[in-house]
């Protein structure tokens, strides 16, 4: 048991100070002035820290380019990310979105991580294109849709927080009515390693198969919409951590 009054939940990993150490390392670099305002250099520096010092759970340079292609093809005005960590993906995607005037909203539950990410977004010069919100994904999504009424449709969402939450959060998006046929796309990371089998089963199933799955599923307070039709591909990649995949899902 942690004696910290606001200790993060047990599924947080790598809370050994490496994320804050990354910031100290970054700002101690002799080339910090050249890095300032340059997203590519911020990404390259985070990669260097990851390779030479401590491993970080960033989407990385193997899977990242596939998501950049999706951003370039679809040019979303708003992309949402669940799980921001130190801001690698926020800088990578924020920079790509900036090219067509798009924005990224990154939702991160851990305020320490959000603080690191905010600083790296600032360093990259992406303050106007990336907004980081601290909170649990389901609470922030519900607040944005139901209370603030600021989010009416999901164009592109990147699920990269905790694999066990992918399916309940997808059910929440279905319930909130923000997944728009012919428009919305979901990209989920780490669906092979560590894996998200229940999420993959749902996004690959037909409406009839989903109705059958619901007969035995514990949906809790969620109200899934099995009638939504999904088309999902799962490209595989060899990453630093082993074989992994992205689940890329179109709402048809």
Ligand X SMILES: C[S@@+](CC[C@H](N)C(=O)[O-])C[C@H]1O[C@@H](n2cnc3c(N)ncnc32)[C@H](O)[C@@H]1O
Q: Is 230 in the site for ligand X (CB under 6 A)?
A: no
Instruction: Check if the beta carbon of residue 109 is closer than 8 Å to that of residue 128.
Output: no
Site string for ligand X, 43-72 (x = CB under 6 A): --------------xxx-------------
In terms of CB distance, is 76 or 226 closer to ligand X? 76
Q: Is 205 in the site for ligand X (CB under 6 A)?
A: no
Q: Is 173 in the site for ligand X (CB under 6 A)?
A: no
Angle between helix 39-52 and helix 88-98 axes, rounded to 10 deg: 160
Q: Is 163 in the site for ligand X (CB under 6 A)?
A: no
- Residue with smallest beta-carbon separation from ligand X: 83
User: Interface residues for ligand X in 11-30 (CB under 6 A)?
Assistant: 12
**Helices (H), ranges, the chain:** 18-27, 32-35, 39-52, 60-74, 88-98, 111-123, 137-142, 163-176, 197-204, 207-216
3-state helix, strand, coil in the chain (%, to 5): 45, 15, 35
Instruction: Return the closest-CA partner of residue 51 out of 239, 240, 190, 189.
Output: 240
User: Interface residues for ligand X in 108-147 (CB under 6 A)?
Assistant: 108-110, 113, 136-137
Q: Is 162 in the site for ligand X (CB under 6 A)?
A: yes
Candidates 42, 82, 179, 251; binder of ligand X (CB under 6 A) is: 82
């Amino acid at each position: 048991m942690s004696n910290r009054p606001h200790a993060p939940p047990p599924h947080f990993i790598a809370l050994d100070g490496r994320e804050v150490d990354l910031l100290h390392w970054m700002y101690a670099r002799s080339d910090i002035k050249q890095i300032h305002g340059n997203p590519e250099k911020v990404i390259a520096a985070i990669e260097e820290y990851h390779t030479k010092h401590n491993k970080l759970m960033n989407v990385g340079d193997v899977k990242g380019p596939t998501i950049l292609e999706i951003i370039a093809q679809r040019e979303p005005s708003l992309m949402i990310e669940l799980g921001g960590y130190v801001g690698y993906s926020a800088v990578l995607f924020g920079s790509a979105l900036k090219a067509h005037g798009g924005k990224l909203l990154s939702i991160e539950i851990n305020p320490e991580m959000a603080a690191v990410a905010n600083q790296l977004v600032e360093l990259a010069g992406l303050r106007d294109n990336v907004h980081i919100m601290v909170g649990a994904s389901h609470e922030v999504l519900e607040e944005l849709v139901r209370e603030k009424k600021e989010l009416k449709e999901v164009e592109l969402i990147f699920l990269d927080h905790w694999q066990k939450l992918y399916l309940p959060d997808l059910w929440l998006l279905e319930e909130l009515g923000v997944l728009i046929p012919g428009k919305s796309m979901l990209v989920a990371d780490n669906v092979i390693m560590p894996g998200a089998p229940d999420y993959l089963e749902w996004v690959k199933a037909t409406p009839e198969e989903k109705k059958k799955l619901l007969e035995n599923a514990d949906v809790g307070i969620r109200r899934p919409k099995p009638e939504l039709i999904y088309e999902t591909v799962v490209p595989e990649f060899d990453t630093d951590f082993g074989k992994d995949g992205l689940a890329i899902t179109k709402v048809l």
